Protein backbone atom coordinates (compact mmCIF):
# COMPACT_ATOMS: atom_id res chain seq x y z
CA UNK A 1 0.00 0.00 0.00
CA UNK A 2 1.13 3.56 -0.67
CA UNK A 3 0.20 6.44 1.68
CA UNK A 4 0.45 9.84 0.00
CA UNK A 5 1.61 12.63 2.30
CA UNK A 6 1.70 16.41 2.16
CA UNK A 7 4.02 18.03 4.73
CA UNK A 8 3.18 21.64 5.45
CA UNK A 9 6.23 23.30 6.99
CA UNK A 10 8.74 20.66 5.91
CA UNK A 11 11.76 22.89 6.65
CA UNK A 12 11.01 23.28 10.37
CA UNK A 13 11.97 21.13 13.31
CA UNK A 14 8.90 18.86 13.05
CA UNK A 15 8.96 18.85 9.24
CA UNK A 16 12.57 17.67 9.11
CA UNK A 17 11.95 14.99 11.73
CA UNK A 18 8.92 13.82 9.75
CA UNK A 19 11.10 13.36 6.68
CA UNK A 20 13.61 11.35 8.76
CA UNK A 21 10.77 9.14 10.01
CA UNK A 22 9.46 8.61 6.49
CA UNK A 23 12.97 7.78 5.20
CA UNK A 24 13.31 5.14 7.90
CA UNK A 25 9.87 3.67 7.30
CA UNK A 26 10.51 3.45 3.57
CA UNK A 27 14.05 2.14 3.78
CA UNK A 28 13.29 -0.69 6.18
CA UNK A 29 9.85 -1.38 4.77
CA UNK A 30 9.02 -2.39 8.32
CA UNK A 31 5.68 -0.69 7.92
CA UNK A 32 4.06 -3.95 6.86
CA UNK A 33 4.48 -3.24 3.20
CA UNK A 34 3.26 0.36 3.41
CA UNK A 35 5.30 2.89 1.45
CA UNK A 36 5.05 6.60 2.21
CA UNK A 37 5.15 8.88 -0.80
CA UNK A 38 5.68 12.62 -0.44
CA UNK A 39 3.24 14.43 -2.70
CA UNK A 40 3.86 17.99 -1.51
CA UNK A 41 6.28 20.00 0.62
CA UNK A 42 6.06 23.59 1.81
CA UNK A 43 8.20 26.26 3.45
CA UNK A 44 7.70 29.94 4.13
CA UNK A 45 11.02 31.38 3.02
CA UNK A 46 13.71 28.68 3.43
CA UNK A 47 14.29 28.29 -0.30
CA UNK A 48 17.61 26.47 -0.12
CA UNK A 49 16.35 23.80 2.27
CA UNK A 50 13.07 23.37 0.43
CA UNK A 51 14.93 22.99 -2.86
CA UNK A 52 17.20 20.33 -1.35
CA UNK A 53 14.18 18.47 -0.03
CA UNK A 54 12.41 18.74 -3.40
CA UNK A 55 15.45 17.28 -5.18
CA UNK A 56 15.62 14.40 -2.76
CA UNK A 57 11.92 13.50 -2.35
CA UNK A 58 10.64 14.54 -5.79
CA UNK A 59 7.18 15.75 -4.69
CA UNK A 60 4.65 16.70 -7.36
CA UNK A 61 4.06 20.06 -5.62
CA UNK A 62 6.46 22.45 -3.92
CA UNK A 63 4.96 25.48 -2.18
CA UNK A 64 6.55 28.63 -0.84
CA UNK A 65 4.03 30.54 1.28
CA UNK A 66 5.95 33.80 1.23
CA UNK A 67 5.45 34.65 -2.45
CA UNK A 68 8.48 36.99 -2.44
CA UNK A 69 10.65 33.87 -2.60
CA UNK A 70 9.01 32.21 -5.58
CA UNK A 71 11.59 33.34 -8.16
CA UNK A 72 14.58 32.03 -6.17
CA UNK A 73 12.66 28.78 -5.71
CA UNK A 74 11.94 28.59 -9.44
CA UNK A 75 15.62 29.06 -10.21
CA UNK A 76 16.54 26.37 -7.70
CA UNK A 77 14.08 23.66 -8.77
CA UNK A 78 12.82 24.75 -12.19
CA UNK A 79 14.42 21.70 -13.80
CA UNK A 80 12.40 19.29 -11.62
CA UNK A 81 9.11 17.76 -12.63
CA UNK A 82 7.24 19.58 -9.83
CA UNK A 83 4.57 22.24 -9.88
CA UNK A 84 5.69 25.33 -7.96
CA UNK A 85 3.04 27.12 -5.93
CA UNK A 86 3.34 30.41 -4.07
CA UNK A 87 1.48 32.35 -1.38
CA UNK A 88 -0.53 31.28 1.68
CA UNK A 89 -3.38 29.84 -0.42
CA UNK A 90 -1.02 27.36 -2.03
CA UNK A 91 -1.40 25.25 1.12
CA UNK A 92 -5.16 25.11 0.63
CA UNK A 93 -4.63 23.97 -2.94
CA UNK A 94 -2.29 21.21 -1.74
CA UNK A 95 -4.50 19.79 1.00
CA UNK A 96 -7.45 19.58 -1.38
CA UNK A 97 -5.61 17.36 -3.86
CA UNK A 98 -7.33 14.03 -4.40
CA UNK A 99 -3.90 12.40 -4.39
CA UNK A 100 -3.18 13.44 -0.78
CA UNK A 101 -4.18 10.94 1.94
CA UNK A 102 -2.37 12.39 4.98
CA UNK A 103 -1.74 16.07 5.72
CA UNK A 104 1.02 16.56 8.27
CA UNK A 105 0.80 20.12 9.57
CA UNK A 106 4.16 21.30 10.86
CA UNK A 107 3.68 25.02 10.28
CA UNK A 108 4.14 27.35 13.21
CA UNK A 109 1.30 29.58 14.40
CA UNK A 110 -2.13 30.62 13.17
CA UNK A 111 -0.86 30.65 9.57
CA UNK A 112 -1.83 26.98 9.35
CA UNK A 113 -5.52 27.57 10.10
CA UNK A 114 -6.88 27.92 6.54
CA UNK A 115 -5.13 24.80 5.29
CA UNK A 116 -6.14 22.70 8.30
CA UNK A 117 -9.78 23.67 7.88
CA UNK A 118 -9.64 23.00 4.13
CA UNK A 119 -8.13 19.55 4.79
CA UNK A 120 -10.86 18.85 7.36
CA UNK A 121 -13.55 19.81 4.83
CA UNK A 122 -12.05 17.29 2.41
CA UNK A 123 -12.17 14.56 5.07
CA UNK A 124 -8.40 14.07 5.04
CA UNK A 125 -6.36 12.33 7.72
CA UNK A 126 -4.74 15.16 9.64
CA UNK A 127 -1.54 14.58 11.59
CA UNK A 128 -1.42 17.80 13.61
CA UNK A 129 1.72 19.22 15.17
CA UNK A 130 0.63 22.79 14.49
CA UNK A 131 -1.44 23.28 17.68
CA UNK A 132 -2.43 26.92 17.14
CA UNK A 133 -5.34 26.23 14.69
CA UNK A 134 -6.83 23.81 17.24
CA UNK A 135 -6.49 26.46 19.93
CA UNK A 136 -8.09 29.20 17.84
CA UNK A 137 -10.86 27.22 16.16
CA UNK A 138 -11.01 23.93 18.05
CA UNK A 139 -14.78 23.67 18.07
CA UNK A 140 -15.17 24.49 14.38
CA UNK A 141 -12.26 22.28 13.34
CA UNK A 142 -13.30 19.18 15.29
CA UNK A 143 -16.89 19.60 14.06
CA UNK A 144 -15.71 19.92 10.44
CA UNK A 145 -13.54 16.81 10.79
CA UNK A 146 -16.50 14.80 12.16
CA UNK A 147 -18.97 16.04 9.53
CA UNK A 148 -16.63 15.13 6.69
CA UNK A 149 -15.45 11.75 7.92
CA UNK A 150 -11.85 12.80 8.49
CA UNK A 151 -9.54 12.11 11.43
CA UNK A 152 -7.14 14.10 13.57
CA UNK A 153 -4.10 12.33 14.91
CA UNK A 154 -2.04 14.30 17.40
CA UNK A 155 1.69 14.78 16.85
CA UNK A 156 2.34 16.89 19.93
CA UNK A 157 4.07 14.40 22.24
CA UNK A 158 1.73 15.03 25.19
CA UNK A 159 -1.41 14.62 23.09
CA UNK A 160 -0.03 11.57 21.35
CA UNK A 161 0.63 10.11 24.81
CA UNK A 162 -2.93 10.82 25.93
CA UNK A 163 -4.32 9.46 22.67
CA UNK A 164 -2.35 6.23 23.24
CA UNK A 165 -3.22 5.94 26.95
CA UNK A 166 -6.92 6.55 26.28
CA UNK A 167 -7.03 3.26 24.41
CA UNK A 168 -6.85 1.49 27.80
CA UNK A 169 -10.52 2.24 28.56
CA UNK A 170 -13.68 3.88 27.28
CA UNK A 171 -14.24 7.64 27.22
CA UNK A 172 -16.77 7.35 30.08
CA UNK A 173 -14.19 5.57 32.25
CA UNK A 174 -11.73 8.49 32.18
CA UNK A 175 -11.64 10.68 35.30
CA UNK A 176 -8.90 13.07 34.17
CA UNK A 177 -6.00 13.62 31.83
CA UNK A 178 -2.63 14.84 33.06
CA UNK A 179 -0.39 16.75 30.69
CA UNK A 180 3.26 16.74 31.64
CA UNK A 181 5.65 19.60 31.05
CA UNK A 182 9.43 19.76 31.26
CA UNK A 183 8.95 23.15 32.92
CA UNK A 184 11.09 24.76 30.23
CA UNK A 185 14.45 26.51 30.67
CA UNK A 186 13.30 28.82 33.49
CA UNK A 187 11.54 26.23 35.64
CA UNK A 188 13.31 27.09 38.86
CA UNK A 189 12.95 30.85 38.58
CA UNK A 190 10.95 33.04 40.93
CA UNK A 191 8.80 36.03 39.97
CA UNK A 192 11.83 38.27 40.63
CA UNK A 193 14.22 36.08 38.63
CA UNK A 194 12.17 36.16 35.42
CA UNK A 195 12.11 39.97 35.30
CA UNK A 196 15.46 40.07 33.50
CA UNK A 197 15.47 36.89 31.44
CA UNK A 198 17.44 37.30 28.20
CA UNK A 199 16.57 35.96 24.77
CA UNK A 200 19.47 33.52 25.06
CA UNK A 201 18.16 32.15 28.37
CA UNK A 202 14.63 31.80 27.02
CA UNK A 203 15.89 29.89 23.97
CA UNK A 204 18.06 27.45 25.95
CA UNK A 205 15.59 24.59 26.36
CA UNK A 206 17.09 21.85 28.54
CA UNK A 207 15.45 18.91 26.75
CA UNK A 208 13.74 19.66 23.44
CA UNK A 209 15.33 21.05 20.27
CA UNK A 210 12.47 23.00 18.67
CA UNK A 211 11.72 26.07 16.57
CA UNK A 212 12.19 29.49 18.24
CA UNK A 213 8.50 30.33 18.76
CA UNK A 214 7.60 27.13 20.61
CA UNK A 215 10.86 27.35 22.60
CA UNK A 216 9.87 30.79 23.90
CA UNK A 217 6.37 29.41 24.55
CA UNK A 218 7.99 26.71 26.68
CA UNK A 219 9.89 29.32 28.66
CA UNK A 220 6.72 31.32 29.43
CA UNK A 221 4.76 28.03 29.88
CA UNK A 222 2.41 29.44 27.26
CA UNK A 223 3.07 26.22 25.33
CA UNK A 224 1.42 24.22 28.10
CA UNK A 225 -1.45 26.70 28.28
CA UNK A 226 -2.02 26.23 24.52
CA UNK A 227 -1.79 22.47 25.01
CA UNK A 228 -4.52 22.54 27.66
CA UNK A 229 -6.85 24.18 25.13
CA UNK A 230 -5.65 21.79 22.41
CA UNK A 231 -6.43 18.79 24.65
CA UNK A 232 -9.82 20.23 25.57
CA UNK A 233 -10.89 20.21 21.89
CA UNK A 234 -8.97 17.22 20.65
CA UNK A 235 -10.33 14.85 23.30
CA UNK A 236 -13.63 16.66 23.96
CA UNK A 237 -12.53 16.92 27.59
CA UNK A 238 -14.00 19.44 30.06
CA UNK A 239 -11.33 21.82 31.38
CA UNK A 240 -12.00 20.56 34.93
CA UNK A 241 -10.73 17.13 33.85
CA UNK A 242 -7.37 18.46 32.64
CA UNK A 243 -4.36 18.82 34.91
CA UNK A 244 -0.73 19.83 34.35
CA UNK A 245 2.28 18.37 36.15
CA UNK A 246 5.90 19.44 35.82
CA UNK A 247 8.12 16.49 34.93
CA UNK A 248 11.62 17.82 34.13
CA UNK A 249 12.97 14.51 32.77
CA UNK A 250 10.38 14.48 29.92
CA UNK A 251 10.13 10.69 29.90
CA UNK A 252 6.47 10.36 30.90
CA UNK A 253 4.82 12.22 28.05
CA UNK A 254 1.37 12.41 29.66
CA UNK A 255 -1.11 10.29 31.60
CA UNK A 256 -4.76 9.31 31.74
CA UNK A 257 -6.48 8.53 35.03
CA UNK A 258 -9.49 6.20 34.96
CA UNK A 259 -12.40 6.12 37.40
CA UNK A 260 -11.05 3.09 39.26
CA UNK A 261 -7.88 5.02 40.11
CA UNK A 262 -5.66 3.36 37.49
CA UNK A 263 -3.29 5.76 35.78
CA UNK A 264 -2.02 4.81 32.33
CA UNK A 265 0.99 6.71 31.02
CA UNK A 266 2.99 6.71 27.80
CA UNK A 267 6.75 6.78 28.28
CA UNK A 268 9.57 7.20 25.81
CA UNK A 269 12.77 9.12 25.15
CA UNK A 270 12.16 12.83 24.49
CA UNK A 271 12.21 12.46 20.71
CA UNK A 272 9.50 13.80 18.40
CA UNK A 273 10.16 10.99 15.90
CA UNK A 274 8.06 8.64 18.02
CA UNK A 275 4.78 10.65 18.07
CA UNK A 276 5.29 11.65 14.42
CA UNK A 277 5.69 8.00 13.45
CA UNK A 278 2.67 6.89 15.48
CA UNK A 279 0.51 9.49 13.72
CA UNK A 280 1.66 8.12 10.36
CA UNK A 281 1.42 4.38 11.05
CA UNK A 282 -1.65 4.44 13.37
CA UNK A 283 -3.34 2.11 14.23
CA UNK A 284 -0.24 -0.01 13.70
CA UNK A 285 3.05 0.18 15.56
CA UNK A 286 6.22 -0.55 13.68
CA UNK A 287 9.92 -0.49 14.53
CA UNK A 288 11.38 2.92 13.84
CA UNK A 289 14.27 5.27 14.52
CA UNK A 290 13.28 6.51 17.96
CA UNK A 291 15.77 5.43 20.60
CA UNK A 292 14.32 2.90 23.04
CA UNK A 293 13.95 3.81 26.69
CA UNK A 294 16.25 2.24 29.26
CA UNK A 295 14.45 2.95 32.51
CA UNK A 296 17.32 1.54 34.59
CA UNK A 297 19.53 4.30 33.16
CA UNK A 298 17.04 7.06 33.81
CA UNK A 299 17.56 7.56 37.52
CA UNK A 300 14.72 9.35 39.24
CA UNK A 301 11.57 10.46 37.49
CA UNK A 302 10.13 13.44 39.35
CA UNK A 303 6.85 15.33 39.30
CA UNK A 304 5.81 18.64 40.83
CA UNK A 305 2.99 21.14 40.62
CA UNK A 306 3.48 24.05 38.20
CA UNK A 307 4.49 27.40 39.66
CA UNK A 308 1.46 29.48 38.70
CA UNK A 309 2.86 32.60 40.33
CA UNK A 310 5.96 32.83 38.15
CA UNK A 311 4.32 31.35 35.05
CA UNK A 312 1.03 33.21 34.87
CA UNK A 313 0.36 32.06 31.29
CA UNK A 314 -0.62 28.64 32.66
CA UNK A 315 -3.46 30.01 34.77
CA UNK A 316 -4.59 32.22 31.90
CA UNK A 317 -4.73 29.17 29.63
CA UNK A 318 -7.18 27.37 31.92
CA UNK A 319 -9.27 30.55 32.23
CA UNK A 320 -9.38 31.02 28.45
CA UNK A 321 -10.32 27.37 27.91
CA UNK A 322 -13.23 27.83 30.33
CA UNK A 323 -14.33 31.10 28.69
CA UNK A 324 -14.37 29.69 25.14
CA UNK A 325 -15.70 31.77 22.24
CA UNK A 326 -13.18 34.19 20.76
CA UNK A 327 -10.99 34.24 23.92
CA UNK A 328 -8.56 31.58 22.70
CA UNK A 329 -8.09 33.33 19.33
CA UNK A 330 -7.07 36.49 21.22
CA UNK A 331 -4.90 34.54 23.65
CA UNK A 332 -3.02 32.83 20.83
CA UNK A 333 -2.68 35.86 18.53
CA UNK A 334 -1.50 38.15 21.33
CA UNK A 335 1.12 35.56 22.20
CA UNK A 336 2.29 35.16 18.60
CA UNK A 337 2.63 38.93 18.20
CA UNK A 338 4.38 39.37 21.56
CA UNK A 339 6.81 36.48 20.94
CA UNK A 340 7.64 38.02 17.55
CA UNK A 341 8.50 41.29 19.33
CA UNK A 342 10.52 39.46 21.97
CA UNK A 343 12.48 37.49 19.35
CA UNK A 344 13.19 40.79 17.57
CA UNK A 345 14.63 42.12 20.83
CA UNK A 346 11.95 44.79 21.20
CA UNK A 347 10.33 43.80 24.50
CA UNK A 348 11.27 42.17 27.77
CA UNK A 349 10.50 38.51 28.42
CA UNK A 350 7.93 39.33 31.11
CA UNK A 351 6.14 41.72 28.75
CA UNK A 352 4.94 38.75 26.66
CA UNK A 353 2.42 37.63 29.28
CA UNK A 354 1.60 41.21 30.31
CA UNK A 355 0.64 42.03 26.72
CA UNK A 356 -1.49 38.89 26.44
CA UNK A 357 -3.26 39.72 29.70
CA UNK A 358 -3.89 43.28 28.56
CA UNK A 359 -5.54 42.03 25.36
CA UNK A 360 -7.68 39.49 27.19
CA UNK A 361 -8.87 42.14 29.67
CA UNK A 362 -9.84 44.49 26.86
CA UNK A 363 -11.51 41.93 24.60
CA UNK A 364 -15.29 41.50 24.46
CA UNK A 365 -15.67 37.75 24.06
CA UNK A 366 -18.09 36.53 21.41
CA UNK A 367 -19.68 33.16 22.01
CA UNK A 368 -20.22 30.58 19.26
CA UNK A 369 -18.05 32.56 16.85
CA UNK A 370 -18.04 32.01 13.11
CA UNK A 371 -14.67 31.70 11.39
CA UNK A 372 -14.75 35.39 10.35
CA UNK A 373 -15.22 36.43 13.99
CA UNK A 374 -12.30 34.28 15.08
CA UNK A 375 -10.13 35.83 12.38
CA UNK A 376 -11.26 39.32 13.41
CA UNK A 377 -10.40 38.59 17.05
CA UNK A 378 -7.01 37.27 15.95
CA UNK A 379 -6.25 40.37 13.85
CA UNK A 380 -7.46 42.71 16.62
CA UNK A 381 -5.18 41.12 19.22
CA UNK A 382 -2.13 41.38 16.94
CA UNK A 383 -2.86 45.08 16.32
CA UNK A 384 -3.32 45.66 20.05
CA UNK A 385 0.04 44.11 20.90
CA UNK A 386 1.96 46.03 18.26
CA UNK A 387 0.13 49.25 19.23
CA UNK A 388 0.86 48.72 22.94
CA UNK A 389 4.56 48.24 22.49
CA UNK A 390 4.89 51.37 20.40
CA UNK A 391 3.25 53.52 23.11
CA UNK A 392 5.66 55.99 24.72
CA UNK A 393 6.36 54.79 28.27
CA UNK A 394 4.14 51.72 27.61
CA UNK A 395 3.82 50.97 31.33
CA UNK A 396 5.12 47.42 31.77
CA UNK A 397 6.48 47.12 28.27
CA UNK A 398 10.07 48.23 28.03
CA UNK A 399 12.91 47.59 25.65
CA UNK A 400 15.33 44.81 26.56
Site residues (CB under 6 A) for ligand NAP? 9-15, 43-46, 65, 106-108, 111, 129-132, 156, 208, 210-211, 213-214, 272
Q: Comparing C-alpha atoms, which of 135, 209, 185, 181 is closest to residue 349?
A: 185
**Which of 111, 316 has the CB closer to ligand NAP?**
111
**Which of 106, 265 has the CB closer to ligand NAP?**
106
Q: How far is the CB of 110 from ligand NAP (least distance, A)?
A: 9
SS (H, E, C) the chain: CEEEEEEECCCCHHHHHHHHHHHHHHHHCCCCCCEEEEEEEEECCCHHHHHHHHHHHCCCEEEECCHHHHHHHHHHHCCCCCEEEECCCHHHHHHCCCCCCEEEECCCCHHHHHHHHHHHHCCCEEEECCCHHHHHHHHHHHHHHHHCCCEEEECCHHHHHHHHHHHHCCHHHEEEEEEEECCCCCCCCCCCHHHHCCHHHHHCCCCCCCCHHHHHHHHHCHHHHHHHHHHHHHCCCCHHHEEEEECCCCCEEEEEEECCCCEEEEECCCCCHHHHHHHHHCCCCCCCCCCCCCHHHCCCCCCECCCCCCCHHHHHHHHHHHHCCCHHHHHHHHHHHHHHHHHCCCCCHHHHHHHHHHHHHHCCCCCCCCHHHHHHHHHHHHHHHHHHHCCCCCCCCCCC
Q: How far is the CB of 384 from ligand NAP (least distance, A)?
A: 20
Q: How far is the CB of 204 from ligand NAP (least distance, A)?
A: 15
Q: How far is the CB of 273 from ligand NAP (least distance, A)?
A: 10
**Which of 179, 397 has the CB closer to ligand NAP?**
179
Quick check: 6 and 103 in contact, CB under 8 A? yes
**Which of 210, 352 has the CB closer to ligand NAP?**
210
**Which of 326, 335 has the CB closer to ligand NAP?**
335
Q: How far is the CB of 107 from ligand NAP (least distance, A)?
A: 4
**Which of 271, 354 has the CB closer to ligand NAP?**
271
**Which of 113, 389 has the CB closer to ligand NAP?**
113
**Which of 125, 130 has the CB closer to ligand NAP?**
130
**Which of 108, 165 has the CB closer to ligand NAP?**
108
Quick check: 337 and 385 in contact, CB under 8 A? yes
Q: How far is the CB of 245 from ligand NAP (least distance, A)?
A: 18
Q: How far is the CB of 127 from ligand NAP (least distance, A)?
A: 11
The torsion of the CA quartet 137, 143, 146, 150, rounded to 10 degrees, works out to -20
Q: Comparing C-alpha atoms, which of 207, 229, 197, 202 is closest to residue 319?
A: 229
Q: How far is the CB of 279 from ligand NAP (least distance, A)?
A: 11
Q: How far is the CB of 394 from ligand NAP (least distance, A)?
A: 26
Q: Comparing C-alpha atoms, which of 178, 216, 184, 183 is closest to residue 200?
A: 216
The residue nearest ligand NAP at its CB is 12
Q: How far is the CB of 183 from ligand NAP (least distance, A)?
A: 16
**Which of 7, 140 has the CB closer to ligand NAP?**
7
Amino acid sequence: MVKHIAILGSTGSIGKNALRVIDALNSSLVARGTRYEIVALSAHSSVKQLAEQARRYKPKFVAITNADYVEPLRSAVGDLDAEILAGPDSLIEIVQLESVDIVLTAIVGAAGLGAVLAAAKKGKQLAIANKEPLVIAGELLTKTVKENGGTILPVDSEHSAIFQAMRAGSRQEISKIILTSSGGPLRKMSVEDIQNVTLEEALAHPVWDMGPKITVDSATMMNKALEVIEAHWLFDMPVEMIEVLIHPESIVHSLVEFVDGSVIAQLGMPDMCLPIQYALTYPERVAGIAEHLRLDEMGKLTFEKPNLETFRAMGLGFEVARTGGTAAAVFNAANEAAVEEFLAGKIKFVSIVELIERCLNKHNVKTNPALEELLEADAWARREVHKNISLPNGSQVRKC
